[in-house]
Amino acid sequence: MLQVEHLSFLDWGPLNFSVEAGQCLGLSGDSGSGKSLLLRAIADLDIHEGDVFLHGKRRDDYSGASWRGNVALLASESRWWFESVGAHFPEGIHESVLSKLGFPVSEVMGWEVSRLSAGEKQRLALARLLVRGPDVLLLDEPTANLDPGATALVEEVISGYREEQKVPVVWVGHDGEQLRRVANTALRMHGKKLERSW
């Protein structure tokens, strides 16, 4: 379970919510409403106040690196540090994840990052995150650059990981129909606070 208690950042908050293991919380709101900032605060990437718990254990009980390894943020725009795709993946990568996301497994590790489309980068960033085996997924518009076919692949892969690994997921999105497909409950960022959507 992921628990957020009295979380405040800049002039947002205090915010409180929880996500059970194996469940997905949809998070919506207007542009600039603080959704991405909330994910960054949970991931301990920005200055904030309040507590976040993972399976009953406080964030402060983890090292920074351990917390960010377990509570994984998929940003809306992925970052790439090396020229080739393969250099961003550990040895013994999970080929099934790449295949499920629509990539030719025998070729993709040799691709140059510079040749990737925005949608390919987004799907590969998800694969890069999942092979680390995180205990929480914080997803910032994970299908924003994707066509309907690729969107369906991503939704299926995330749903499968969530159900198999029993991890809590927070999914930020603007598409209400999509959030109804992927999430069990939903909140909306409004007026620096959270409101229950359904």
pLDDT tens per residue across span 148-189: 999 999 999 999 999 999 999 999 999 999 999 999 999 999
139 has which bridge partners?
A: 74, 171
Query: Residue 91 falls within a domain, yes or no?
Result: no
Q: Please state the pTM of the whole predicted model.
A: 0.95
Query: Residue 88 falls within a domain, yes or no?
Result: no
Domain with 13 in it: 2-77+119-196
pLDDT at 92 over 70: no
Query: Residue 33 falls within a domain, yes or no?
Result: yes
pLDDT tens-place string over residues 14-63: 999 999 999 999 999 998 889 999 999 999 999 999 999 999 999 999 99
pLDDT at 195 over 90: yes
Average pLDDT, the chain: 94
Quick one: average pLDDT of 134-143? 97
Query: Residue 47 falls within a domain, yes or no?
Result: yes
Query: Residue 105 falls within a domain, yes or no?
Result: no
Q: Check residue 1 and give its pLDDT.
A: 97
DSSP letters spanning 13-81: EEEEEEE-TT-EEEEEE-TTSSHHHHHHHHTT-S--EEEEEETTEEGGGS-HHHHHHHEEEE-SS----
Query: Residue 154 falls within a domain, yes or no?
Result: yes
Q: Check residue 39 and give its pLDDT.
A: 97
CATH code of the domain covering residue 154: 3.40.50.300
Query: Residue 90 falls within a domain, yes or no?
Result: no
Quick one: average pLDDT of 77-95? 87
Q: Check residue 197 and give its pLDDT.
A: 86
Report, in this order, helix, strand and coil percent for the chain, each rounded to 5: 35, 30, 35
Q: Check residue 44 and give its pLDDT.
A: 96
Q: Which pLDDT band holds residue 96 (cuts at 50, 70, 90)?
A: confident
Query: Residue 140 falls within a domain, yes or no?
Result: yes
Q: Which range, of 8-17, 91-100, 104-113, 128-137, averages the lowest pLDDT?
A: 91-100
What is the tally of structural domains in the chain?
1
